[in-house]
Amino acid sequence: GQQWKTVVDIAFEDLNKEMQRYKIRAKFTPVILDDKTTDTQALTNIQTFHQAGIKVVIGPAASFQVKAVSRYVNDNKIVIVSPSSTAPTLAIPGDFIYRTVGSDAGQAKALAALVKSQGISKVIVFHRNDEYGVAFEEFFEKEFKALGGTSIGISYDTTLEDYASEVAQLSARAKREGVEGIVIITFDTDGVNILSHASKDPYLATLKWFSSEGIHGAMGLLEDPIASFIQKTNLLGTRPLFKENPLLHEFAARYKAIRGHDPPVFSANLYDAVILAGWAIIRAERYDGEAIRNALVEVAKTYYGVSGLTMFDENGDKLFQDYSVWTVKPVNGKYEYADVGSYSGGTITLD
């Protein structure tokens, strides 16, 4: 929402400065519509953009939304660049869908390696029952099994407003199965609710917890009782991020000066999506979906952004993707998100 709006503002400011620097007579202005994190509204928004003659859309954010709009954008040759859709099932060559982030086939491998590095061999994966959650769980199970681990998948309904009953069932199942850890694949709102209930469960507090990137940036994790629960369970997560990037550090400092906290997950990918799309429009030399799509691929080959190298693979996904290991830590009397390690070249390194 508003956190990403700040990223968009920074990106458009920089893009327009580049136009001025190179004396290109073009000015980019964002048209922003709220999709309320639903598939139906995402499709409605894409149709609204199309009726307005817009050929390039940054987003949607979630994989189930990208799936919902895929037929429409392909039929109408609208280029969409999602900064945060990661479901491996959407890695399809030749379509009009591009993603400035690697698919979760890579992150599942990173998270499996992280869990195993902590001496954990049996876990429950508590995941969203949607395109993102189901695919992530399947790929995680495969990767964790390859490392000698056992993974039990439990899905939950994403439309619920409260997960007290589901967390109680999770606790009972975890005790019955004798697992050593819990892996959560959530978004922010559902994830915060789930952790708030888990923090009150004495048994769940004895287990080791892990997470994907979906909940990273949620302010609820920086407040008790969740923040204390994270310390007690030593929760560690993965997120797509090349943290040893000076451009990222500069961008993060600009963002923090505006918002007062570090940018949430996928902010770097969102920034780069805007810059890539803008230059693709310029390089295409005509406002046409196919021409812009072809130019986007070429621009990404040589652009190094705040998310690192942006080159696309044959499916239109970010080709080179490293991962950060994140957690929440107490800093000067308050809690903050912290990157405490990385996954690169098949190896977990903790600071």
State how far the Cα of 334 lies from the Cα of 175, in Å rounded to an integer: 33
Which residue from 321, 298, 291 is spatially nearest to 309, judged by alpha carbons?
321
pLDDT of residue 1: 64
Contacts (Cβ under 8 Å, ≥6 apart) of 117:
348, 350
For 105-238+323-350, the fitting CATH number among 3.40.50.2300, 3.30.750.24, 3.20.20.70, 3.90.1300.10 is: 3.40.50.2300
Contact 302, 296 (CB under 8 A): no
The domain spans of the chain are: 2-104+244-309, 105-238+323-350
pLDDT of residue 243: 76
Write out pLDDT tens, residues 279-304. Answer: 999 999 999 999 999 999 999 999 99
The CATH number given to 2-104+244-309 is 3.40.50.2300
Contact 85, 63 (CB under 8 A): yes
Query: Consecutive sets of 10 residues in the chain, 351 residues long: mean pLDDT of each?
Result: 90 98 97 95 98 98 97 98 96 98 96 98 98 97 98 98 99 99 97 99 98 96 98 98 89 96 93 99 97 98 97 97 96 95 92 89
| Angle between helices 267-284 and 2-21 in degrees, nearest 10 | 40
| Identical fold, 2-104+244-309 and 105-238+323-350 | yes
Q: Which sign does the torsion angle of CA 154, 158, 164, 165 carry?
A: negative
> What Cα–Cα distance (Å) separates residue 34 from each residue in 4, 72, 101, 109, 227?
12, 18, 21, 33, 30
pLDDT of residue 107: 96
State how far the Cα of 208 lies from the Cα of 313, in Å rounded to an integer: 35
Six-digit token string for 341: 């390690």
